[in-house]
Chain A
Amino acid sequence: MKRILVLLLCIMLLISSCAKNNQDKKATITIWHDKEDSVVAILEEALSPMKDEIDIVFEKKSSLTESLKLVGNDIKNAPDMFIFAHDKIGVYAEMGILAPITDFVSKEELGKNIPLTVEAGLYKGTNYQMPLYYETLLFLYNKKYMKEQDIPSTTEELYSYMQKKTKYGHYGFVEQHSTPYYAAGWIHGFGADLTDKEGNPLLATADMKKALSYHKKFVSLMPGETEYATVNTLFLEGMAHSTMNGPWFISAVRNAGIDVGVAPMPIVDETALPISPYCGIQGIHVLKAHANEKKDEITKVLRALQNANLEISLALATGCAPALSECYEDERIRSSEVVMAMKDTASKAMPMPNMPELDVLWSVMGNLLTDINMRNVDVETACSNAQEKALDLIKAMR
């Protein structure tokens, strides 16, 4: 009897271990991200029908870019995919850790997205990103102070408003004036840019100097500090009447009880071009490390993510604009003031460059803006010095 029992137990153990082995065969797809919990919950929900087939694990990384540099091609530690803005594509493509996205989804499938969002993922002719949503800066105003007739349609109107309202601790308009991402809108409004398509710096062009000189006039009517916390707090405390900020800021503004409005970016009087901030496209990228081994599973995940309902949910949760064109036929999107304003602003915005040289230029440009706006260095001298510094650093980089 004992022997039979032992034999039965052995058989059961064998069966259960076989079952476990079968279970273990289920592929796992690991996706790194740096997004809020609400965004991940929507993504998990959209991918839940695949859970019997594929284990999808979202891992939040606070220093995602640095982690990818360290383990991007390490088969043991690299994730299969990651969600991030498109501006790091150049760095990772040059490092050789990215797989072309067209190895998994066809160009026709990508073509369902707004062209701007697809073009942003291109680096040296290869597309490395499947876009999910995009974001840019918006002109936000506090309806309590800035009435309909006060909304500036041009930069000179904005300046007059600032002159009238900047007093007694109140500011007509605030922005992170010496941060390149925020100042870029003004630079583009003069037809200038930080870099050309090859990554060469353009910090001392005539248009750049004109833009920075003109921008300084506005800076003189803004607070001394330029950092995120001061600018945001001034608006949240009702001490700033208008600002430039991203969709991520709107929920905090509403929670602060501010009746916020979104208006088109003012047009620069001198050039007739609008202030055109950078546009960031958030999308999913595939790493080479597991691209061949898990090609089918990765393809399935990518196809499941290219879903209009998912992107609509993401847009409504984040205030960002969906990448898929068909989303804009949906009534919920069409009636969202923020998303539609985002789409409108983004149509005039410039996608952030994605070449590796940008890493260096952010720093040089930050110093240039600080020199002009906060140290009162002459624009001509500051621009020439910055151009020289950028060339040196890019040379060192290469």
Chain B
Amino acid sequence: MMKKNNMRAYLVSAPAMIFIGLIVIFPIIYTFFISFTNMNTYHWFNYDFVGLKNYQNALLVFDSGFLNAILYTVLWTAVNMIMQLIIAFVIASFLNIEGLKLRRLYKTLLMFPWAMPGYISILIWKTGMFNSSFGLLNQWLGTSIRWLSSDLGATICCTVVNLWLALPFMIMIMDGGLKSIDKSLYESATIDGAGCIRKAVSITIPCLKPIIGPAVVITVFTTFKTFDVIYLLTQQVGSQTGARIHTIITYTYENAFITNNYGYSSAISIIIFILLILFYEMTNRRSKLC
């Protein structure tokens, strides 16, 4: 009977598994296959098996520039993650104040950046906010500062845009988490004479931890492999700003993917894929320990 039930479960989930296999597993396997060939402009359709040669060449990309990119990526992920958690917690707490008027309107407005395609949001920030001639920031301040020209300035601007894009998700999770906390805990704490900070530290944060754990892992993973925010704001061909900041993905894009050497680029992708899996495992273990 048990076996029959198992069989039925597999059959029912088979279409979804096949679909996931096609869109997730197949590209990874195909990339892995290409990484062992010399598929490039000169051998586009008549490529041959070249063994580990691409991996040997790929290791040359991992020079000092790549190490700097790794450091930058770790810093970028940490700063963004901490800021997201703090800001989302504060906003979600405000949204949960009892008797707050127009709560649904605020929530809708806060979700707005999520509804907009990232590509468009980033370009609007670039030209609408940071542009030195027409941007709102300089119009308001009456200055002509080039916000994206230095590494530090560009990092701050990229962080602001990344927060704008990522906060709705974290706010939504935090809001859900806050709603799920039993109100009687707060009532008991109030009777015991606890203040707002004590309640937050002793009740809210411990109760939120297991709920936001998976969201934190997902966000860390997404932030670690950021490409669009940094590339579109500072490095897009024809509109570079002068800042030279790189995450591992933008660095490898500039040093490998533009070569049209798919074998070589696939080898680099597989190495980065392994790095990301390792990073994920580390984050996952740490979140389990917490």
A264 contacts chain B at the CB level, 8 A cutoff = no
Contact residues, A337-372 vs B (CB, 8 A):
356, 359-360, 362-363, 366-367, 370
B80 CB-CB contact with A under 8 Å: no
The complex places the Cα of A52 from the Cα of B85 at a distance, in Å, of: 66
Task: Return chain A residues, CB-CB under 8 Å to B255.
Answer: 393
Nearest neighbor of A171 in chain B, beta-carbon distance? B133
Min C-beta distance of B46 to chain A, whole Å: 8
Q: Which residues of B contact A393 (CB under 8 A)?
A: 255, 258-259
- Is A370 touching B40 in the complex (CB atoms < 8 A)? no
Note all chain B residues with C-beta closer than 8 A to A96: 44-46
For B, the interface residue count at a CB cutoff of 8 angstroms equals 31
The answer to whether B202 has its CB under 8 Å from any CB of chain A is no
Q: Which residues, 165 to 220 on A, are CB-close (under 8 Å) to B?
A: 169, 176, 178-179, 181
Known contacts A398-B40, A398-B42; is-contact A178 B240 (Cβ 8 Å): yes
**Binary contact readout B39-54 vs A (1 if CB under 8 angstroms, 0 otherwise):** 0111011100000000
B287 within 8 A of A: no
Interface presence of B132 (CB below 8 A): yes
List the A side residues contacting B40 at CB < 8 Å: 397-398
Cross-chain contact B258 with A363 (CB below 8 angstroms): yes
Whether B41 and A397, one on each chain, are in contact in the complex, defined by CB atoms closer than 8 angstroms, is yes
B45 and A397 form a contact (CB under 8 A)? no
| Residue with the highest number of chain B CB atoms closer than 10 Å, among A230, A363, A396 | A396
A327 at the interface (CB under 8 A from B): no
Tell me if A115 is interfacial: C-beta within 8 Å of chain B: no
Known A-B contacts A69-B44, A370-B242; the reply to A396 vs B131 at CB < 8 A is: no
Interchain CB contact under 8 A, B131 and A356: no
Interface string of B119-147 (1 = CB under 8 A from A): 00000000100011110000000001010
- Pairs A–B under 8 Å by Cβ, sample size 23: A72-B44, A94-B41, A95-B41, A96-B45, A96-B46, A97-B44, A181-B238, A223-B133, A224-B132, A224-B149, A227-B236, A229-B127, A233-B134, A356-B42, A360-B258, A362-B237, A375-B242, A393-B255, A393-B259, A397-B41, A397-B260, A398-B40, A398-B261
Q: What 3 pairs between A and B have smallest CB-CB spacing?
A: A227-B239, A374-B242, A95-B44
